[in-house]
Amino acid sequence: MKKFLIIFLLIILFLPIVSACWNQKELTDLAFVMALGIDRGENQKFEFSVQIVNPGNVSSGQNGGGQGLPIVVYKSSGNTLTEAARKLTKQISRRLYYAHTNLVVVGEEVAKTDLLDLLDALDRDPEFRTTTELVVARNVKAEDMISTLSLLDKLPVNKITKEINTTEKLLGENMHVPIDDFLAALVSKGKQPLANGIRLIGDTENVGKSDILQKTKADGIPAAAGLALFKRGKLTGWVDQKNARGVVWVLNKVQSTDINVSWNGKKDALSVAPIRSKTKVTPSMKNGKPLINVFIENEGWISEANTAIDLSNPEVINKIDQLVQNEIQKEVLAAIKAVQRKKSDVFGFGETIHRTYPLYWKKIKTDWDNQFAELDVNVQVASYVRREGIRVNPFWVDLTK
């Protein structure tokens, strides 16, 4: 009897563990949302668009995918994100599932005024991943951006996220900005958030039409376009190209890029690509005022030499190092000045001062926007050429003999 009672108690204890899938969701009942688009509404505050994958047209097996389009885009409106999302149930026969959402595209008008009204909904939902990429659509509706089809990638959302990732690795003008990082900078003491910009280039009239998939020359191509600067959660301006790369340098996010320098009177004769780059930011005090010291250490290789030059000569290499150092320093200083004019400390200089000089920070924190605009920044660069590629001297040397 005692043995039977023990077994009965064990069964009772294990019942909660073996309660099966109490919250199971059938795949055929789910609509997998891959991207969100949020624009300014006409009659209501927001227009909410969702890019939903059509699994039958994306799957790759022996028979290949289906013949239809890989995605479908639905749209609704509401004064809150929750209201707009739930209104979509009138149009869709499946439950919206956000666990695989990789991209949130926000229109410029929303980014300038109402972005903060969206972030809590995205951060609070346990199903939504805050590692999702946040981008701002430039001069185009977010709805059009997530409706664009791609020639190379089956899922258009992958085209945009991979594009930002590749640009970060090879060009250095963009960087991965998940919602988590945006929120961390937003609530930080002494740092403002930023986000990637994205625009459509080429003919945009056929955006969302299947005709694009029958062409070799794509229309309406989503392209990474600079960095969006924010202040207290509102878009204040943009930095593009070299200024954007300068921002990425300071944030220690440059993995590789191309640095062009002139040689013997020929403009952009040499191109040096970083192999490794490291940025260190430290504050100091000078005459009772803060000074930010930015030190960049860069190692690269000569990826292009379009002039007669002796790359086997150590003195020549030293001169190239100096030219590259000057170019990086000039670029970074120009980027810092451009951001200071916007009074948006996306570098986190204030955060650095706060950690190092907390008492001083307490005095100036309420006026940090103006303090940042006038902040002295010292930039030093140490750059070294480590490789010359698979050959030393270019064919240009033979042409001059």
Q: What are the DSSP calls for 138-159, one per residue?
A: SSS-HHHHHH---SS-SSHHHH
pLDDT in tens, 13-45: 766 665 555 556 666 678 889 999 999 988 899
Say what the pLDDT of residue 127 is. 86
My answer on whether 221 and 113 are in the same domain is yes
CA–CA separation, 357 vs 189, rounded Å?
13
Residue 8 lies in a domain: no
pLDDT in tens, 251-279: 999 999 999 999 988 999 999 999 999 99
Residue 54 lies in a domain: yes
CA–CA separation, 301 vs 161, rounded Å?
28
My answer on whether 368 and 219 are in the same domain is no
Residue 19 lies in a domain: no
- Tokens standing for 185? 């900078």
Residue 24 lies in a domain: no
Domain with 122, as residue range(s), is 30-239
Last residue of a domain, one of 213, 239, 265: 239
- How far apart, in Å, are the Cα atoms of 227 and each of 244, 267, 281, 298? 6, 28, 21, 23
My answer on whether 60 and 131 are in the same domain is yes
Place of tokens 């979509």: 88
Last residue of a domain, one of 183, 205, 239: 239
Reported as type and span, the H/E element at residue 136 is strand 133-137
Say what the pLDDT of residue 396 is. 72
- Tokens standing for 289? 């005022």
Say what the pLDDT of residue 381 is. 96
Judge contact between 192 and 51, C-beta under 8 A: no
Say what the pLDDT of residue 61 is. 45
My answer on whether 269 and 214 are in the same domain is no
How many domains is the chain partitioned into structurally?
2
My answer on whether 335 and 230 are in the same domain is no
Say what the pLDDT of residue 64 is. 44
Per 3-state DSSP, what percentage of the chain is helix, strand, and coil (rounded to 5)? 35, 30, 35
Q: At 248, is the secondary structure helix, strand, or coil?
A: helix
Residue 17 lies in a domain: no
My answer on whether 232 and 286 are in the same domain is no
Residue 67 lies in a domain: yes
Say what the pLDDT of residue 154 is. 79
Residue type, 289: K
Residue 139 lies in a domain: yes
My answer on whether 198 and 278 are in the same domain is no
What CATH code is carried by the domain that includes residue 348? 3.30.300.210
CA–CA separation, 290 vs 371, rounded Å?
9
Residue 307 lies in a domain: yes
My answer on whether 64 and 108 are in the same domain is yes
Say what the pLDDT of residue 48 is. 94
- Tokens standing for 202? 């080429």
My answer on whether 217 and 346 are in the same domain is no
CA–CA separation, 153 vs 209, rounded Å?
16
Last residue of a domain, one of 206, 239, 272: 239
Judge contact between 296 and 237, C-beta under 8 A: no
My answer on whether 82 and 64 are in the same domain is yes
- Residues forming a β-bridge with 283: 292
Judge contact between 272 and 301, C-beta under 8 A: yes
My answer on whether 60 and 121 are in the same domain is yes
My answer on whether 154 and 255 are in the same domain is no
Q: What are the DSSP calls for 97-112, one per residue?
A: E-TT--EEEEEHHHHH
CA–CA separation, 316 vs 306, rounded Å?
15
Ranges assigned E (strand) in 161-317 = 194-201, 221-231, 234-239, 259-263, 266-286, 289-305
Euclidean distance between the first and the last CA atom of the chain, given in angstroms as a whole number: 105
Judge contact between 18 and 12, C-beta under 8 A: no
Q: Check residue 57 and report its DSSP letter.
A: G
Average pLDDT of adjacent 10-residue blocks, the chain of 401 residues: 67 62 65 93 92 76 58 92 91 88 95 91 88 94 88 83 91 94 92 94 68 65 92 94 96 94 92 95 92 96 91 93 96 97 95 94 93 95 90 75 64
Q: Among 204, 107, 218, which Cα is nearest to 159's?
A: 218
